[in-house]
Amino acid sequence: MRVLFYLSPYISPTHSEFQHNSINLGEGMRKAGIEFYGNIDYWYENDIDGYLFRAVPNGYNHDVAIYSTFYFNRYPERISDVDYSKINVLIDAEDGLFTHCFKSDYKRFNCILRTHYNKNLNYPKNVYPWVFGLSERIIKEVENIRDIKPLNRIYNNFRVSQNLRTKSIDELSPVLSKKYVMFNYLTDQLSTTDSNDCLSYWSQTGRRHNEEYYRLLNSSMLTFVFGGIIDVKPIGKDYASKMLRQLNKLMSKLYRSKRSNFLFIYQYDSWRLWESLVSNTCPIHVDFEEWGFEMPYMPENGKHYIGVRNLDFKKAGDMILDLTDNEIKEIAENGKKWVLEHYNTKRLFELLKELIDN
């Protein structure tokens, strides 16, 4: 297998074009001894003083092309340059509901890897469940400070407001604060003492994932990892249709605030979920199975994470209060073993290879 990644260039910390999923696959391929290049130099690594993706040399003949949606967002006209004699893969990790995977431009791609995949949507047949997963850097940073003892607190560091996050904080925090310190803290800024390695990755990731953040994760007993928009289930199959989008918007206004079978949650995946799973902390989210979230390997509620059912945050909070510290630590440990087995970088590459081979 000879692979060429199509990537969008890094510009600045505020315009980083951070292509996490491409990085994970590139790191997995490197571990597996697969030859790959990028259309540009991308993702500088201090320890090797070079790029994970090196710019493709002239005359390189690849058989698999992997496109980031960032690439087509920057160069939409280049969809006409896709060579369909190759195996073509699109990574669709976009926020929102009606993303690239529904567009007719990509119907000839061999496979589309869609994060935030939800069984309640009717996807084109070439769309497959995917995840944010773990990068080598995330694993390394967490392991470097693994020995920190978790404190009796619940960590919340949401930078972006979503209605599920707002609801969870408003309804769960008053219950859990009876036993735990509710620790709300963002780590957007770096200290002047931070290493060049930290500064480099902080910039390239769009001011995410600094060392202090990993320290706070590892030292918190539990962490809110809620992500998603509570809405109503879209109707119809042609989600790209303007008429259906307008109808879905109207349905959303009518039913979003009600507890009914129309409710639906999308955009649930996040870096925070995977960072929490691999760290000492125990993640709290909604129940994945209940809301139709789908991944290549599914975690188990109560074994690998704590999932709120039925949006009943009061009941979930009371259940968490009844858990002993050892029971919470066991869930966190199970989650760590599960995620390192199923979503390390090499396994992510193997999952892609299985899709391509089949």
Q: Give 261's pLDDT tier (boundaries 50, 70, 90).
A: low
The domain ranges of the chain are 2-131+344-357, 136-228+267-342
How far is residue 157's CA from residue 214's CA, in Å, rounded to a whole number?
12
User: Which residues have C-beta within 8 Å of that of residue 316, sequence separation ≥ 6?
Assistant: 172, 284, 306, 308, 309
Predicted pLDDT at 260: 54
Predicted pLDDT at 190: 43
Residue 273 has pLDDT above 90, yes or no: yes
Residue 14 has pLDDT above 90, yes or no: no
Strands 64-68 and 35-38, bridge-based pairing? unpaired
Q: Give 16's pLDDT tier (boundaries 50, 70, 90).
A: confident
- Cα-based distances in Å from 149 to 212, 275, 282: 15, 17, 13
How far is residue 267's CA from residue 24's CA, in Å, rounded to a whole number?
20
Specify the higher pLDDT residue, 135 or 191.
Answer: 135
Predicted pLDDT at 195: 54
CATH topology match: 2-131+344-357 vs 136-228+267-342 = yes
136-228+267-342 adopts what CATH topology? Rossmann fold (3.40.50)
Residue 82 has pLDDT above 80, yes or no: yes
Q: Give 266's pLDDT tier (boundaries 50, 70, 90).
A: very high
**Residue position matching structure tokens 């809620």:** 226
How far is residue 284's CA from residue 307's CA, in Å, rounded to a whole number?
6
Q: How many CB atoms lie within 10 A of CB 194?
A: 14
Residue 127 has pLDDT above 70, yes or no: yes
Domain covering 2-131+344-357 in this structure, CATH number: 3.40.50.2000
Q: Give 192's pLDDT tier (boundaries 50, 70, 90).
A: very low
3 state SS for the chain? CEEEEECCCCCECCECCCCHHHHHHHHHHHHHCCEEEECCCEEEECCCCEEEECECCCCCCCCEEEEEHHHHHHCHHHHHHCCCCCEEEEEECCCCCCCHHHCHHHCCCCEEEECCCECCCCCCCCEEECCCCCCHHHHHHHHHCCCCCCEEEEEECCCCCCHHHHHHHHHHHHHHCCCCEEEECCCCCCCCCCCHHHHHHHHHCCCCCCHHHHHHHHCEEEEECCCCEEEECCCCCCCCCHHHHHHHHHHHHHHCCCCCCCEEEECCCCHHHHHHHHCCCEEEEECCCCCCECCCCCCCECCCEEEECCCCHHHHHHHHHHCCHHHHHHHHHHHHHHHHHHCCHHHHHHHHHHHHHC
Residue 254 has pLDDT above 70, yes or no: no
Cβ atoms of residues 23 and 10 within 8 Å: no
Predicted pLDDT at 161: 82
- Model pTM? 0.91
Residue 301 has pLDDT above 70, yes or no: yes
At 257, list the tokens.
């605030």
